Amino acid sequence: MKFYDCKTAPSPRRVRMFMAEKGIEIPTIQVDLGQQEQLTESFRKINPRCTVPVLELDDGTCLSDTLAICHYLESQFPAPNLMGLDGREQALVLNWHEQTNSEGFMAAAEALRNFARGFQDRALTGPENFEQVPALAERGRRRLEAFLGILDSRLGQSPFVALERFTMADIGAFICSEFAGWIKLPVLERWPNIRRWHGKVSVRPSASA
C-alpha cells in the first residue's frame, strides 16, 4: 500500500491519527498542496478529485475518502477497535463522525477557504476553481460555533464523543477542534467540556501524528 499525505492539511491527519492508534506504518508520499501538486496531471491519475488523503491498495485501487480509508484499515487491522464492535456501536461512531464532518469540519473549511488570501479562486477543493464568497466565511464560522456547542454538551454527558472509549469519532472531533484555531476561534477557552476532553486526547501518542 501507499499513503498520499500532506503533513500540513487536516484531512489526512485524521488518517494518520487512525493509523497511529493501530500502530500501522504505510509508505507515505507527501503531496505539496501549497505548490498545487494535487492539480498536476500525474496526481490526477491517482485521484481525479485532486484531494488528499489517498490510500493506494496493493492491487492499484485508490481510496480517496477518509471514512472509506479508515473502514478499509479497520477491516485489515481490527485491533484496537476504533469503529465499533457491533451494529449499535458502529452506528454511534458513524453518526458522530458524520455529524462532526458535515457540521463541524466542513463549516471550518467553509469559513477558512472563503476568507484566507491563500485560497483565492480555490474556495472549494477539487479539480475546478471556485471564487470566494465572503458571506460564506461568516456563515461557516457560525455553523462551526453551533456544532461546538453541541459537541460540548455531548462531552458533558460522555467521556468520549461516541462511546465510553476512544474511537474514530474522537479523532474527527479532535482535529475539528484544532482546525477551528485556523479561523481564530478560541475553542478551549469557550467550551469547558471540550477543553477537558481535548486535554485527554492531546496526550495520546497519536495526537502528534
Interstrand relation of 2-5 and 54-56 (parallel, antiparallel or unpaired): antiparallel
Band of pLDDT at residue 205, cut at 50, 70 and 90: very high
Tell me the C-alpha to C-alpha distance, in Å, between residue 146 and each of 106, 139, 140, 168. 13, 11, 10, 21
**Distance between CA atoms of residues 169 and 82, nearest Å:** 8
Could you tell me the strand order of the sheet in which 28-30 lies?
28-30, 2-5, 54-56, 62-63
Taking only the tens place, the pLDDT of each residue in 175-203 is 999 999 999 999 999 999 999 999 999 99
**Share of residues in the chain with pLDDT > 90 (%):** 98
Confidence grade of residue 5 (pLDDT, cut at 50, 70, 90): very high
CATH second-level architecture of 87-208? Up-down Bundle (1.20)
SS3 44: helix
Could you check whether 2-76 and 87-208 share the same CATH topology?
Answer: no
Query: Mean pLDDT across the chain, nearest whole number?
Result: 97
The reply to whether omega before 10 is within 30° of 0 (cis) is: no
Domain residue extents for the chain: 2-76, 87-208
Q: Are the beta carbons of 4 and 40 closer than 8 angstroms?
A: no
Cell of 131: 471564487
pLDDT confidence bin for 107, thresholds 50/70/90: very high
pLDDT per position as a tens digit, 61-94: 999 999 999 999 999 999 999 999 999 999 999 9
Q: Return the CATH fold of 2-76.
A: Glutaredoxin (3.40.30)
pLDDT in tens, 108-161: 999 999 999 989 899 999 999 999 999 999 999 999 999 999 999 999 999 999
What pLDDT score does 87 carry?
98
Is the Cβ–Cβ distance between 43 and 31 less than 8 Å?
A: yes
